[in-house]
Amino acid sequence: MPAHKYNATVVQKIQIRPNLMILRVATDEPRSEFSAGQYTTLGLYGSEPRSANSEPEAIPVKPEKLIQRAYSIASARHETRQFEFYISQVKTGQLTPRLFHLEVGDKVFVGRRIVGVFNLSNAPKDADVVMIATGTGITPYISFLRSHVMERPKSKMVVIQAAAHQGDLGYFSELSFLDSAFPNFYYLPTLTDAGDTWPGHRLWIEEMLESGVLGQETGVACDPKRTHFYLCGNPVMVKNVSQWLTEHGYQKKTRRTEGTLFVEEF
């Protein structure tokens, strides 16, 4: 089995659901300090076994190929040796079924570069920030919060996390704890297919914005001059919520244009 490019070791694996896991890896060599919200690559060779609950891959891969994909880092930005990832298994995918087969002690490839422009550097320290996520799109916000929540006491920071079921709300405990511990942080989870015992919201994200729930529960306004919006996750959610926000005066920040709407699609 080829292993010459592997440069990191799995130190923790938390299987949250059959197709969702938190994977922590320790790199053999430290990386540079990064910006919260950035991503790197994980890689495994095509010869590695696939998880028991995966399906045959849609596009077969050669055994000697190092399959690499981008993954956001959930860790705080000052971590330089241990990195946390939150990964969803695509059952017919090339890499994720192999990542889901990993166990503690196994070797893996981690890219040397940590890159990406999805970060808080454009949001002034007193600007309010609304972070909206579906699925593993919550990952960069965990890094934002672990890195910056204490540094921004004058900024209201809100996470709106949407999922079908409660078990799909990754980092629910950590986000609930932050909500109770920091007066400037608000956690608004919402479920579209909740059971009877769910006490929280049952709205689509656009409905939460349209109905004024955001303003009522946090005091944060949908005001492009004051509030910066971040969207991360499913491309359909990103498209629909971007459209709602642009209809309400927001402009998407790109390399060439200024704006207070920041977008990352997985």
* Under rule CB under 6 A, residue 66 binds ligand FAD: no
b/e string for 203-226 if b means 16 or more Cβ within 10 A? bebeebbeeebbeeebebebebee
Tell the smallest beta-carbon distance from residue 216 to ligand FAD (Å).
Answer: 31
Q: Which region, judged by CB under 6 A, interacts with ligand FAD, from 91-99, 149-157, 194-202, 223-231?
A: 91-99
Q: Which of 45, 83, 86, 230 binds ligand FAD (CB under 6 A)?
A: 86
Closer CB to ligand FAD, residue 187 or residue 266?
266
* Under rule CB under 6 A, residue 90 binds ligand FAD: yes
Q: Which of 27, 75, 96, 119 binds ligand FAD (CB under 6 A)?
A: 96
Residue type, 157: M
Tell the smallest beta-carbon distance from residue 95 to ligand FAD (Å).
Answer: 3
Q: Which of 243, 154, 144 is nearest to 261 (CA)?
A: 243
Tokens at 17, concatenated: 């659901």
Contact 15, 7 (CB under 8 A): no
* Under rule CB under 6 A, residue 39 binds ligand FAD: yes
Cβ neighbours for 61, distance < 8 A, ≥ 6 positions apart: 46, 67, 94
Tell the smallest beta-carbon distance from residue 39 to ligand FAD (Å).
Answer: 5
Closer CB to ligand FAD, residue 56 or residue 183?
56
Whose structure tokens read 């990964």? Answer: 87
Contact 155, 123 (CB under 8 A): yes
Residues that bind ligand FAD (CB under 6 A): 39, 58, 69-72, 86-88, 90, 93-96, 136, 139, 266
